[in-house]
Amino acid sequence: MSFSLRKKISVFFVVIALVSSLAVTAITIYNTNRLFADYVGLRLEIKQEQWQGLLTSYYLENGTWEGVEKILSPVSGMRSGGMGPGVGRRFHGRGLQGMGRWGDTVVLADSSYRVIAATHSFSPGSIIPPELRKRGEKLQVEGKNIGYLFINPSEQNGLSELERQYTASVLRTSLGVGALIALIAALIGAFFGRRLTKPLQKLTAATKRIAQGDRRSRVTVRGDNEIGELALSFNVMAESLEKADKARRNLVADVAHELRNPLAIMRGQLESILEGRIEAKPEVILSLNDEVLRLSRMVGDLQELSLAEAGQLKLTREQFFMKELFEKYREILTPQLEEKEIKFCIAEDGGVPQVNADRNRIQQVILNLLANALRHVPHGGTIRVTISEKNGQVTTKVFNSGSKIAEEEIPYLFERFYKGDKSRTRKQSGTGLGLAIAKGFVEAHGGTIGVKNGEDGVSFYFTLPIFKN
């Protein structure tokens, strides 16, 4: 049988209340018994001192125990002054009023433990049992043992009965208060349980809606406690799922669009060859081969991009200088640079260390960035590469003097198939995967990539970790 969180919280509150009440009751009863025991012990010590003083004074004045029974029996007579001639006047009013009122047994025995006089329970002439002798207080006069004093409270005295009554009263009161507190705790637990579980129930319902395909499901965030943080995290997760789902649908649509046109061209040409409307000349076959190569390249790019985004891209790291790669591509791109009369320059801070990266992947990043710069730099413009080192990373900037990028387009530049300029033809803009691949490769190395508009152009930049021995 399983309990809901709300019931568990209520039971928890009740258990805590009951345990606390029982603990308070136990501590109260323990302290009460201890205080009563201390009080009884203190009274016994006071009575012993008073009786010792009284009996010792009596012996000093009379030189014998004769007539001492008038002091010990009856005690009520002592309080009323009926102790016999001379005794009442001398010993009445010395702080003994009330002695024996709780039923104490006061016994006077000689040095041989023979009872001389007693308030009750012991007869004169009887012998104190050996097991009780150690409880006696020795009476001495000038170093001489004149007898023993025994004060033996009865187990059924009034003080013990009062103690039991008080203890029982405390127990009953504590149990009653404990039951009341448990009831209040149950109500408080039910209230807080409902208040705590209600947001969780909303989260559960929203989670089920997302599982059923409603990616727009959100929950209201209230408070800055842990549940509020959980709700906020849930909303962030739901938003990410919505974006991922949208990106997936867009990817499928973009891939279908990119594949549809070349496949349609290839199909049309092949059908024309089969129907005899055109001849299978070398230039026709070469055109078909170009389309096949382009499709193969796009599929390969998509595969590598997917591996990079999944963190499964295999990297063969080695040490090299970034400037070497740009020098290489400057030679390769010289014909295109001369055709558009583009000024290409490389600037490097002194002492820039080697990077630790996959050379082939970084070459692809550089080629994609330079190809992007060549497409957008005007005739007679400038492409400038700057390489520097900061905070254990090598930063590379590729600047082109082309027109600025609209600020609203910058967040989407590194997405798959994104083409900001809708007027450009597919042949001019490529597949729209170059910047996405560059971003995936750089992030696979633990670096970052971005773009900034400047006063006279646009700068793409990326960072790579330096090589450390």
Mean pLDDT of 369-394: 92
- β-pair partners for 84: none
Residues 334 and 269 in one domain: no
CATH number for the domain spanning 455: value is 3.30.565.10
* 254: pLDDT strictly greater than 90: no
- Say yes or no: 27 and 150 in one domain: yes
Q: What are phi and psi of 420, to 5 degrees?
A: -65, -40
Domain extent at residue 374: 317-465
**Is the distance from CB of 402 to CB of 456 less than 8 angstroms?**
no
Token pair for 113: 């433990």
Q: Judge whether residue 232 has pLDDT over 60.
A: yes
Is the pLDDT reported for residue 423 higher than 50? no
Q: Is the pLDDT of residue 55 over 70?
A: yes
150-164, 212-226, 370-384, 411-425: range with lowest mean pLDDT: 150-164
Q: Residue 98: pLDDT above 50?
A: no
Query: What CATH number does the domain containing 251 carry?
Result: 1.10.287.130
Same domain? For 398 and 287 the reply is no
Q: Determine, yes or no, domain membership for 170.
A: no
Mean pLDDT estimate for the chain: 79
- Looking at residue 18, its pLDDT comes to 77
Query: Does residue 200 sit within a domain?
Result: no
Q: Is residue 54 part of a domain?
A: yes
**For residue 241, with 0-12 CB atoms within 10 Å meaning exposed, 13-18 middle and 19 or more buried, which class applies?**
middle
| Phi, psi torsion values for 19, nearest 5 degrees | -60, -40
Share of the chain above pLDDT 90, in %: 19
- Among residues 104, 127, 158, the one where a domain terminates is 158
For residue 385, the model assigns a pLDDT of 95
Lowest mean pLDDT: which of 23-37, 160-174, 332-346?
160-174
Question: Region 337-366: what's the mean pLDDT?
Answer: 90
272 plus 364 within the same structural domain: no
Is the model more confident about 23 or about 397? 397
Which H or E run contains 236?
helix 226-275
Q: Residue 383 above 90 pLDDT?
A: yes
Q: Is residue 166 part of a domain?
A: no
pLDDT greater at residue 200 or residue 408: 408
Residue 416, pLDDT above cutoff 50:
yes
State CA 250 to chain mean position distance: 39
Q: Are residues 284 and 140 in the same domain?
A: no
Task: Tell me if the pTM is above 0.95.
Answer: no
**Residue where one domain finishes, among candidates 282, 309, 336:** 309
Please classify residue 399 by burial: count the beta carbons closer than 10 Å to its beta carbon, then call 0-12 exposed, 13-18 middle and 19+ buried. buried
User: Is the pLDDT confidence value at 4 over 50?
Assistant: yes
- Regarding whether 233 and 105 lie in a shared domain, the answer is no
- Please check whether residues 342 and 444 belong to one and the same domain: yes
Question: Is residue 345 located within the same domain as residue 456?
Answer: yes
pLDDT surpasses 70 at 226: yes
* pLDDT value for 76: 36
The pLDDT value given to residue 320: 93
Q: Look at the alpha carbons of 422, 423, 427, 430 in this order and tell me if their dihedral is positive or negative.
A: negative
Q: What is the mean pLDDT of residues 402-422?
A: 79
Identify whether residues 12 and 150 lie together within a single domain.
yes
Residue 184 lies in a domain: no
Strand partners, 162: none
pLDDT of residue 163: 66
Kindly state whether residues 302 and 328 are assigned to the same domain.
no
**Residue that terminates a domain, selected from 108, 139, 158:** 158
Which tens digit of pLDDT belongs to each residue from 265-278?
A: 788 888 888 888 88
Q: How many domains does the chain have?
A: 3
Per-residue confidence band for 356, with pLDDT thresholds at 50, 70 and 90: very high
Mean pLDDT of 388-393: 89
Same domain flag for 304 and 362: no
* Same domain, residue pair 275 and 323: no
Helix (H) or strand (E) holding 459: strand 458-465
Residues contacting residue 262 through CB under 8 Å, at least 6 positions apart = 291, 294, 295
Query: Distance between CA atoms of 233 and 227, rounded to whole angstroms?
Result: 10
Burial of 224 (0-12, 13-18, 19+ CB in 10 A): exposed
**What whole-number distance in Å separates Cα of residue 295 and Cα of residue 260?**
10
Per-residue DSSP letters for 124-186? Answer: TTPBPPHHHHTT-EEEEETTEEEEEEEEE--TT-HHHHHHHHHHHHHHHHHHHHHHHHHHHHH
Looking at the domain assignment, is residue 198 inside a domain?
A: no
What phi and psi, each to the nearest 5 degrees, are found at residue 2? -100, 145
Asked whether residue 135 carries a pLDDT value surpassing 90, the answer given is no
Are 187 and 170 contacting, i.e. CB atoms less than 8 angstroms apart? no
The pLDDT assigned to 394 comes to 94
pLDDT for the residue 92: 37
Query: Which amino acid would we find at residue 40?
Result: V
Asked if residue 151 belongs to a domain, the reply is yes
Q: Does 19 fall in a domain?
A: yes
Dist CA 112 CA 130 (whole Å): 11
In the three-class reduction of DSSP (H, G, I as helix; E, B as strand; rest coil), residue 357 is classed as strand
